[in-house]
């Protein structure tokens, strides 16, 4: 069981040769491949992170712009509403004024006509009263 | 009882052969043929899998590349956990190859029915069940951590032996011997014992009963590979850090 002979050094040499050969065909190329993949993944990841950050910035910017625009539109709407209100108010006021004026004019005309009618009535009263007098007293009055 | 044992030895399906080796002669040297051929086979398998996995490297891994990347990440985690993010890169090939080689060897012994291939003497088994293999790996680990210590701190590495107090010098020196000894015998003992237990159980009850033990063997095989690689990483880390550096870091 324990007989040492030339197998020992030969085995050592064999092992060393295996080590050198494996270093050439196994460890070096595959470690290089692993390292390459690592760096590839790392660079891709940083690139992706940058892109993600960019996209997030853009999204934030757009959102801000959207909010601004919305606020502006709101402002425009309120402005327009206020203006419309004002215009409506002025229009109403004008119309009321006009109506007032027309009413006053009509009142005036009515008053004038009433006065004229009263005047003509008074004249007619005089004529009528004369006629009544004439009828009652006859021609004595004029004689 | 003795006659029962006699019938066992003549049992044709399974037999225990411990300490018998299929020897190769190379010049004046004697080699364990079954160990070296097996080790060569698994080295070939590892290299083939690696070449298949890295032949056409793509950013999105598929098939074999995916599998080999999984294996690489596993051994990288072992090395990184022991040596830390900064130091582990140069030692990844050593620790990773230790794990992969021991793991594949262990599982080959636990999974494949090598007994179907007849050898004139001895049997095919996991290369790691031979003491030569495990001692070779353990000595390489010792060399690796000495190399790591000297390369990082030059001769100042020896300061480690007298820190924090010179009283511990004999123990520190002893540690350099016990480390490879424990590494090699742990692996060798576990794998050989596992194979022996399975062999004995198969001898006694050839059906079904050995299966839980075989599963346990798969588990211990994987654990032993992990333990060997982790300990190698820990020893190298210890040599790199040393007591002096830790003191500096504290201040």
What sign has the CA pseudo-torsion B178, B183, B185, B186?
A: positive
Contact yes or no for B93/A27 (Cβ under 8 A):
yes
Helix pair B63-111, B33-54: axis angle to 10 deg: 170
- With cut-offs at 50, 70 and 90, classify the pLDDT of residue B4: low
Q: Which residue of A has its CA nearest to B102?
A: A15
Concatenated DSSP letters for B9-63?
HT-SS-----S---EEEETTEEEEHHHHHHHHHHHHHHHHHHHHHHTT--SS--H
State the average pLDDT over residues A46-54.
95
Pairing mode of beta strands B23-26, B29-32: antiparallel
- With cut-offs at 50, 70 and 90, classify the pLDDT of residue A73: very high
Q: How much is the pLDDT for B99? A: 93
Report CB contact under 8 Å: A6, B29: yes
Report CB contact under 8 Å: A18, B21: no
Contact yes or no for B149/B112 (Cβ under 8 A):
no
pLDDT at B6 over 60: no
Q: Which residue of B has its CA nearest to A22?
A: B47
Residues 6+ away with beta carbon under 8 Å from A97 = none
Task: Using a pLDDT cut of 90, give the percent of chain B over it.
Answer: 22
- With cut-offs at 50, 70 and 90, classify the pLDDT of residue B19: low
- With cut-offs at 50, 70 and 90, classify the pLDDT of residue A135: confident
Question: Dihedral through CA B162, CA B165, CA B167, CA B168, nearest 10?
Answer: -60
Q: How much is the pLDDT for B16? A: 57
| Interface mutation target, options B18, B38, B45, B47, chain A, most CBs of A under 10 Å | B47
In which residue are the tokens 């582990």 written? B88
Residues of B with CB below 8 A from A30's CB? 53-54, 57, 65, 68-69, 72
Residues of B with CB below 8 A from A39's CB? none
**Residue B151 in tokens:** 């390369």
pLDDT at B251 over 70: no
Q: Which residue of B has its CA nearest to A13?
A: B136
Size of interface A-B (CB pairs under 8 A): 115
Domain ranges of chain A: 9-137
pLDDT at A125 over 70: yes
> What are the pLDDT digits (tens) for B91-110?
999 999 999 999 998 888 77
**Residue B183 in tokens:** 């590494």
Q: State the Cα–Cα distance between residues B30 and B9, nearest whole angstrom.
A: 28
Q: Which residue of A has its CA nearest to B66?
A: A30
Q: How much is the pLDDT for B63? A: 83
Distance from CA of A47 to the nearest CA of B (A): 18
Question: Which ranges in B32-155 belong to alpha helices (H)?
Answer: 33-54, 63-111, 131-153
pLDDT at B8 over 80: no
Report CB contact under 8 Å: B131, A2: yes
State the average pLDDT over residues A97-120.
93
Concatenated DSSP letters for B211-249?
HHHHHHHHHHHHHHHHHHHHHHHHHHHHHHHHHHHHHHH
**Residue A113 in tokens:** 């006509």
Task: Using a pLDDT cut of 70, give the percent of chain B over it.
Answer: 83
| Interface mutation target, options A17, A26, A38, chain B, most CBs of B under 10 Å | A26
Q: How much is the pLDDT for B122? A: 65
Query: What is the residue-averaged pLDDT of chain A?
Result: 90
Distance from CA of B189 to the nearest CA of A (A): 11
Please tell me the pTM assigned to this model. 0.72
* Facing A11 at nearest CB: one of B59, B96, B133: B133
A72 or A141, higher pLDDT: A72
Contact yes or no for A141/A131 (Cβ under 8 A):
no
A7 or B140, higher pLDDT: B140
> What are the pLDDT digits (tens) for B62-85?
888 888 889 999 999 999 998 888
Could you list the beta-strand ranges (E) of B142-194: none
Report CB contact under 8 Å: B54, A25: yes
In which residue are the tokens 């030339």 written? A6
Cα–Cα–Cα angle for B72, B152, B71, rounded to 5 degrees:
5
Q: How much is the pLDDT for B249? A: 42
pLDDT at A77 over 90: yes
pLDDT at B248 over 70: no
Q: State the Cα–Cα distance between residues B146 and B236, nearest whole angstrom.
A: 8
Domain ranges of chain B: 19-250
- With cut-offs at 50, 70 and 90, classify the pLDDT of residue B29: confident
């Amino acid at each position: 069981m324990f007989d040492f002979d030339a197998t020992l050094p030969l085995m050592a040499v064999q092992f060393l040769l295996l080590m050198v050969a494996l270093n050439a065909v196994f460890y070096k190329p595959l470690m290089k491949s692993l390292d390459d993949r690592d760096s590839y993944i790392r660079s891709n990841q940083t690139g992706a992170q940058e892109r993600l950050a960019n996209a997030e910035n853009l999204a934030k910017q757009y959102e801000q712009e959207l909010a601004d625009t919305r606020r502006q539109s709101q402002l425009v709407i309120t402005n327009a509403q206020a203006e419309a209100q004002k215009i409506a108010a002025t229009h109403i006021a004008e119309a009321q004024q006009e109506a007032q004026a027309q009413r006053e004019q009509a009142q005036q005309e009515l008053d004038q006509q009433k006065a004229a009618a009263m005047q003509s009535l008074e004249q007619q009263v005089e004529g009528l009263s004369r006629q009544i007098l004439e009828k009652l007293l006859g021609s004595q009055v004029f004689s | 009882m003795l006659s029962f044992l006699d019938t066992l030895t003549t049992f044709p399906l399974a037999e225990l052969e411990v300490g018998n080796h299929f020897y190769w002669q190379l010049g004046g040297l004697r080699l364990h043929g079954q160990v070296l051929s097996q080790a060569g086979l698994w080295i070939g398998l590892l290299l083939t899998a690696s070449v298949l996995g890295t032949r056409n490297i793509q950013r999105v891994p598929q098939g074999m590349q995916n599998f080999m990347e999984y294996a690489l990440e596993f051994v990288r985690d072992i090395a990184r956990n022991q040596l830390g993010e900064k130091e582990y890169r140069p030692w990844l090939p050593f620790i990773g190859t230790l794990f992969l080689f021991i793991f594949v060897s262990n599982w080959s012994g636990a999974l494949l029915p090598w007994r179907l291939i007849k050898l004139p003497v001895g049997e095919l088994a996991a290369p790691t069940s031979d003491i030569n293999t495990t001692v070779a790996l353990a000595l390489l680990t010792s060399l690796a951590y000495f190399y790591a210590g000297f390369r990082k701190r030059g001769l100042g590495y020896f300061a480690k032996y007298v820190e924090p107090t010179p009283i511990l010098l004999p123990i520190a020196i002893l540690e350099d011997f016990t480390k490879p000894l424990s590494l090699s015998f742990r692996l060798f003992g576990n794998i050989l014992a596992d194979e022996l237990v399975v062999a004995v159980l198969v001898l006694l009850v050839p059906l079904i009963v050995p299966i839980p033990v075989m599963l346990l063997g798969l588990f211990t095989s994987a654990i032993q590979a992990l333990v060997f690689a982790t300990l190698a990483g820990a020893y190298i880390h210890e040599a790199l850090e040393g007591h002096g550096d830790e003191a500096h870091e504290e201040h």
